[in-house]
Structure 1
Amino acid sequence: IASLLYKFSPEEMRMVMIDPKVVELQMYNKLPHLVVPVVTDPKKVILALRWVVQEMEKRYKIFAQENVKNIHAFNKRSPKKPLPESEPELPLFGGAEERVEAGQDGFAVEIDEEITVPREQELEIPDKLSYIVVVIDELADLMLTAPAEVENAIARITQMARAAGIHCIVATQRPSVKVITGVIKANIPSRIAFQVASKIDSRVILDEMGAEKLLGKGDMLYQPPGAPKPIRAQGPLVEDHEIEQIVDFIAEQGKPSYEMEIHQQLSKPTAVLDAAPSDEEEELIQQCIEVIRSEQKASVSKLQRRLRLGYNRAARLMDELEDRGIVGPAQGNEPREILIDLDGTGADGRGQTMHTMV
């Protein structure tokens, strides 16, 4: 992080920092490079990662409109001149004498209003785009909270976002297959391993042994993309007081300029975020209702098997269905009572018609 701060100004690089342990990245909170303040609540991490994915998609739309392939070509291009404000629409006819059409008797009659075609709504295209670096300090804590959402978001960012100028740095102290899943591992070709406890941990990170023999204190193996073998290197130690000096020096030159849309969402209390399920969560709830309808049985184990969910998430979804009045309370090992008629079109528990999902 210190190397990036020395090299790039806030106009050239923005950062999204995620710190589930709360204390590791807080000293960077004054940086003008930050898109949002350091995110510490695991439940809000998904919102931050979704913003990054949306920013990536928006940038690709801009690239398509500008006919460039990546952020480097976009920033090197010659900006197009904006259209004059005096031409908001495209007229089909040049003047009043040309605005005629055939009447009922075949005679030309004048049209009262000029026919126009609205311009296609265009994206707001900046002159230059800044690089975005996502820093996740401890992946293991996030994988315990929302493994599917975190895995999918990291996979999309690491798969597609490089050409858009978005990069991801992911760190963990627990290199297990439950934390560094196959999907995440396959999409992060550049890896660094410090000293680990066992050969298995080394294989999880580098796909080969060796990291268990390192000496510690910054001794590391660096696996660049495409290299046949890892490169041994020495990482520098930056003390806390040195980090504070760097951050204070940069902070004196400018205040943070947050992205207001995501900043306002992350500023909401966690209870408010929990009260409003996301589109993905709502779709999953509808799938649960469909399973209950087809099986005529409401049980957590049934949702686990049919939707391939973990127990905690399936139980949480069943509690949500209970809150909506669709199923009754738990009855020990017995299935829950279905409180509404789910045959035919059914309902989603909010008084709305629910279409059958295929």
Structure 2
Amino acid sequence: MSDQEQNSAPTSGARRGVLAGAAAGLAGVMAGNARAQSTSQGSTDAPPLADPRKLYPHEPFPAQPQPWPGLASKMHPRPDHGEKSYKGSGKMAGRKALITGGDSGLGRATAIAFAREGADVAINYLPQEEEDAREVIALIRQAGRKAVALPGDIREEAFCQKLVADAVSQLGGLDALVNCAGRQHYHESILDLSTEDFDWTLKTNLYALFWITKAAIPHMPPGSSIVNTASSNAYNPGEIILDYALTKAGIANFTKGLAKQILPKGIRVNAVAPGPFWTALQVCGGQPMSAVEKYGTTVPMGRPGQPAEIAPIYVHLATTESSYVTGQIFGITGGTGAPG
């Protein structure tokens, strides 16, 4: 274009184009100003800034012993699993997930989050936990997603194989596996830890992880994700939960090794390592009642975490947002800085 052409007066069609462009630009500026104003005034779509130490309940908690396996619905205060707060954005639309321990605690929060992100979800739990599980199934369905209830004891290899087969059959596939079920029961001394209890913990936390993962991998296409649940005890073991801590260290190690092994299949494997979280695991023998009453005071946050606060990490690790992340352990420990 010559200098003369650049400086010549526009035709009527060109003038209309200039005016339309100016109008569009003005509209964009106005929209931007509106967004800025909305942000400065506090958007209704996002929670306001708040001191994280004061967001949720802290000690003293009432003594509240429950028989194993414990129900979240009978805890005081009831844990927050995101029932009212979690808002999805379609990050897992069309995905198909199996979550163990999906009735309460971290598994329940993850099931709610996955469903609200668009995934169909199958949950496993013990038959004694049916009361809590029914609530989760209802919440998944309220999100407009398919919910599959698969009760049973994962200490049996045959059941673990059936669990995966039933999940694949009823969901129509499987591309996300969250191993969240776990057993924790304190013993003040190793001399009080029976072989039966030791076996119970290892079968629930390690053997089931192995059996379920082994059964699931052949069904999982490239792009799938496995998320395991370790613990800060894998790195700083508590002296009264030796068997539990041992299994959590094993889960962390298993996660890192398996991630290398199955990356050629296009499947990622990561783990979350929580610190103190307010779940039914703690009130049914996971800790002595004296520890439950002041639970969470040993970390800088000064309170236990709520399951709703950890669910977004499980979502992130299950989605393609974390496509370059595998073999990692994510510590959510209330300020201790562990694990690395």
Bigger-Rg structure (1/2) = 1
- Give the TM-score normalised by structure 2: 0.30
Higher helix share: 2
TM norm structure 1: 0.29
* Greater relative contact order (Cα < 8 A, sep 6+): 2
